[in-house]
Structure 1
Amino acid sequence: MLRYDKGVTTEIPDEFPAEFPIKLSVNGREIATLVASPHELRFLVAGFLRTQGFVREIGDFLVMGVCDESGEANVRIRGELPERLTPVLTSGCGTGITFTFNAGPPKPASPEVTFSAESIFAGMREMSKLSERYGRHGGIHSAAISDGSRILLHAEDLGRHNTIDRLAGQALFSGVDPAGSLMLTSGRVSSEMAAKAASLGVALIASRTSPTDMAVRICREAGIGLVGYVRGDSFRLAACPERVRISLQPRITGVILAGGESRRMGSNKALLTINGERMVESAYRRMAGLFDEILLITNTPERYDFIPCRKVGDLYPGMGPLAGIHAALTSCATERVFVIACDMPNLKPQVVRMLCSLPGDVVVAGTPGGLEPLHAVYSKSCLPLMEVMLKAGERSILTLLDRADINLIPQARIAELDPDFSSFRNINTPEEYRQLILSGTHTYEQADAAD
């Protein structure tokens, strides 16, 4: 092979990616010819059958024979194949094939499963180091399964979709469960790749390049995070951004409202204890894990000397939570704030991250009890309207929501991350507090914007 570089021609060794067709027969029935790289073909065959839904575990294989010389794979599995198989030609490198293009994804990974931005960057770097075939001659795709701290499985192949099948096959043979994992890939994430990842229960997919629109839709429906263009120290979040733990600063300030009169409780709710911790302490601890700057809105800062953050008083005292949000927006250095009431003990980070990742002057969740304004994102663009309302003696947050440009997040989207909506409930009465202490759970009404 000749190499031409800057006017100089030199002879270099011939080394190209190998392309190998393998005819796959299952239970005596030929179903497909796979075109792939000619190494470790048993992983490719096993993984292909797994991602098509024909097998689920290694015990489903009765016989597997793969002949590298003849290019044939003969497999016997438990059960029978569907009588009719409708192949779908995919957008994979060359021409891929799948039989489960419209199959619904399995139950998604727990919403608690998240990965740091650094784990994505580190995973990509480690995958590149492991990609020996690509390093020799290029023209090869890579994919890997990571637990967020190290790579558990790695595969290379001509076809990017084949790399996912190889990972699925390796997982069967090695006993590694890819559910809840981070999947890394060098190639474009198309719909069939997203569907394969969903069949494995993957929580997050990260690619060096772009996802397709259908892949984004599949990932959103399956609750899979999808990150594209992972290059250097940047990436683009295309689906379920709550799967990625990123600092919400410097864009957003966390705000805790602790200025209520607690009339129905009869004492300061913020200072009530749960599991040996005052409620306002619990709120601060959870918020501090999400935001670099926290503001505590209170007109009695001396009561909260034990909270190590800046305290801000209302500019319009006696005007309720609306005045507290106004004070926060006026005092913070960021364009947006995320606001919670101090007596919400079940704050869920994945819900907060999702709300904070979305655009809008106000980002508010829909819940079975209606809109929840005290677990929401507010922008400084709301300040002029707030000023008009407060000067006119209008204190209703719901009136603000009627007049502002809000991004209402549907209940169904919230339920994916918080099925019982517990993160939106608070405590208003002594009986609710007593039941909370007895049960160890929180099952009460939503925060009352007027309390």
Structure 2
Amino acid sequence: MKETMVLQKVNICEEEPVQLLLNGKDLVTFMCTPNELKELAMGHLLSRGIIKSVKDITSLGACKDMKMIFATSSIEVDFGGIELNTVLSSGCGSGVKFNESIAKLPKIESDFHISIEKVKKIAIEMFSEANMYRKYGGMHCAALSDGREILALSEDVGRHNAVDKVLGKGILKEVNFRSTMLMTTGRISTDMILKAANVACPFVVSRSIPTTSALELANNLGITVIGRINSSNPIVYMYEERIAI
């Protein structure tokens, strides 16, 4: 008689499909760790440039059991310029496409300065607070900091989801993104830079490295990129003048 395999939930990253409906339209299905769903939705809408302020959302509800997030906006959304019914796997980007709207994004002007030693210290703090990673492994972490403390921290099986969650927390706290840095454990790709650009965040920091196209975009948009932050010699790729001595 053939034995039935029993799956033991030990050291397994939780990943579930969660659907986001905006004004009744199926906007996107996240393949994500199903927590902080309201923050995920807010951050995703913000980082895609669909909303600009928390005031643009009139209602927001999430049901983990139904794997649904429902949002309504007070602004008119141009769904004609948005790809609907998108499924975002935890390993892919946020669905942001290069178009004329990217060329219209203003170059970020910010007087936010920080020393590389302080950036490293905050990165170490972020890694130390990554509880889900220590428990399960295979998770990504993201944080938002004002250079003094961590303002928001989230974990998710997907690096883009983790970033959206902390941006969602930031907008709900009415954080001034121009005086913050966005930190991630994942690779810095073009859509990561676009997320930062859409909230006017002048710093993107990672323990990994950026892609060439991400660096080109960051240079055009005025974003300081720091890679290999947990190494002895982190790499500051551009706008080094923001690194205080």
Per the shorter chain, which TM-score range? 0.7 to 0.9
For residues 290-316 of structure 1, what are the alpha-carbon distances to aligned partners after superposition, in whole Å with 9 as ceiling and x for unaligned? xxxxxxxxxxxxxxxxxxxxxxxxxxx
Query: Which secondary structure does the structure 1 equivalent of 2:197 belong to?
Result: helix
Q: Which one of 67, 78, 84 corresponds to residue 80 of structure 2?
A: 84
Q: Is the 8 A contact 1:189 1:212 kept in 2?
A: yes
Q: Aligned-pair distance for 1:99?
A: 3.9
AA at the equivalent of 1:105: L
CA distance in 1, matches of 2:115, 2:109: 16
CA distance in 1, matches of 2:121, 2:155: 18
AA at the equivalent of 2:126: M
CA distance in 1, matches of 2:224, 2:240: 6
Q: Aligned-pair distance for 1:109?
A: 3.1
Any stretches of 5+ residues in structure 1 without a counterpart? 1-11, 247-451
Counterpart residue number, 1:238: 237
CA distance in 1, matches of 2:87, 2:223: 21
Counterpart residue number, 1:109: 109
Q: Is the 8 A contact 1:123 1:184 kept in 2?
A: no
Q: CA RMSD in A?
A: 2.2
Q: Is the 8 A contact 1:180 1:201 kept in 2?
A: no
Distance 1:141 1:243, change over 3 A: same
CA distance in 1, matches of 2:218, 2:108: 10
| Sequence identity (%) | 29
CA distance in 2, matches of 1:92, 1:39: 16
AA at the equivalent of 2:65: E
Equivalenced residues, count: 234
Counterpart residue number, 1:168: 167
Q: Aligned-pair distance for 1:205?
A: 1.3
Query: Which secondary structure does the structure 2 equivalent of 1:139 belong to?
Result: coil
Distance 1:86 1:63, change over 3 A: closer
Q: Aligned-pair distance for 1:223?
A: 1.1
Alignment of 1:16 onto 2:12: yes
Q: Which runs of 4+ in 1 moved over 4 A?
A: 88-93
Counterpart residue number, 1:58: 54
Name which one, 1 or 2, has greater alpha-carbon Rg: 1
Query: Which secondary structure does the structure 1 equivalent of 2:228 belong to?
Result: strand
Distance 1:166 1:13, change over 3 A: closer
Q: Aligned-pair distance for 1:113?
A: 2.1
CA distance in 2, matches of 1:69, 1:236: 43
AA at the equivalent of 2:80: R
Alignment of 1:71 onto 2:70: no
CA distance in 2, matches of 1:115, 1:74: 38
Q: Structure 2 matches for 1:395-414, cutoff 5 A? A: none
Q: Structure 2 matches for 1:291-440, cutoff 5 A? A: none
Q: Aligned-pair distance for 1:87?
A: 3.7
Alignment of 1:194 onto 2:193: yes
Q: Aligned-pair distance for 1:92?
A: 7.7
Q: Is the 8 A contact 1:90 1:192 kept in 2?
A: no
Any stretches of 5+ residues in structure 2 without a counterpart? 1-7
CA distance in 2, matches of 1:148, 1:28: 39
For residues 291-346 of structure 1, what are the alpha-carbon distances to aligned partners after superposition, in whole Å with 9 as ceiling and x for unaligned? xxxxxxxxxxxxxxxxxxxxxxxxxxxxxxxxxxxxxxxxxxxxxxxxxxxxxxxx
Q: Aligned-pair distance for 1:90?
A: 11
CA distance in 2, matches of 1:211, 1:170: 24
Query: Which secondary structure does the structure 1 equivalent of 2:26 belong to?
Result: strand
CA distance in 2, matches of 1:18, 1:92: 13
Query: Which secondary structure does the structure 1 equivalent of 2:235 belong to?
Result: strand
CA distance in 2, matches of 1:90, 1:149: 37
Query: Which secondary structure does the structure 2 equivalent of 1:245 belong to?
Result: coil
For residues 173-219 of structure 1, what are the alpha-carbon distances to aligned partners after superposition, in whole Å with 9 as ceiling and x for unaligned? 22222222122111100000011011111121111011011110111
For residues 145-180 of structure 1, what are the alpha-carbon distances to aligned partners after superposition, in whole Å with 9 as ceiling and x for unaligned? 111121111111111111221111101222222222
CA distance in 1, matches of 2:176, 2:95: 22
Distance 1:239 1:90, change over 3 A: farther
Query: Which secondary structure does the structure 2 equivalent of 1:161 belong to?
Result: helix
For residues 211-252 of structure 1, what are the alpha-carbon distances to aligned partners after superposition, in whole Å with 9 as ceiling and x for unaligned? 011110111111111011112431112222222224xxxxxx
Query: Which secondary structure does the structure 2 equivalent of 1:179 belong to?
Result: helix
Q: Which one of 81, 93, 103 corresponds to residue 96 of structure 1?
A: 93
Query: Which secondary structure does the structure 2 equivalent of 1:65 belong to?
Result: strand
Q: Aligned-pair distance for 1:140?
A: 0.7
Query: Which secondary structure does the structure 2 equivalent of 1:35 belong to?
Result: strand
Q: Is the 8 A contact 2:58 2:72 kept in 1?
A: yes
Query: Which secondary structure does the structure 1 equivalent of 2:188 belong to?
Result: coil
Counterpart residue number, 1:27: 23
Distance 1:172 1:95, change over 3 A: same
Query: Which secondary structure does the structure 1 equivalent of 2:226 belong to?
Result: strand
TM-score, structure 1 normalization? 0.49
For residues 359-395 of structure 1, what are the alpha-carbon distances to aligned partners after superposition, in whole Å with 9 as ceiling and x for unaligned? xxxxxxxxxxxxxxxxxxxxxxxxxxxxxxxxxxxxx
TM-score, structure 2 normalization? 0.88
AA at the equivalent of 1:220: N
AA at the equivalent of 1:109: E
Query: Which secondary structure does the structure 2 equivalent of 1:30 belong to?
Result: strand
AA at the equivalent of 2:95: T
Structure with larger RCO (C-alpha < 8 A, sep 6+): 2
Q: Is the 8 A contact 1:181 1:203 kept in 2?
A: yes
Q: Is the 8 A contact 1:226 1:241 kept in 2?
A: no
Moved more, 235-244 or 150-159: 235-244
For residues 81-108 of structure 1, what are the alpha-carbon distances to aligned partners after superposition, in whole Å with 9 as ceiling and x for unaligned? 2142354989984233324543243341
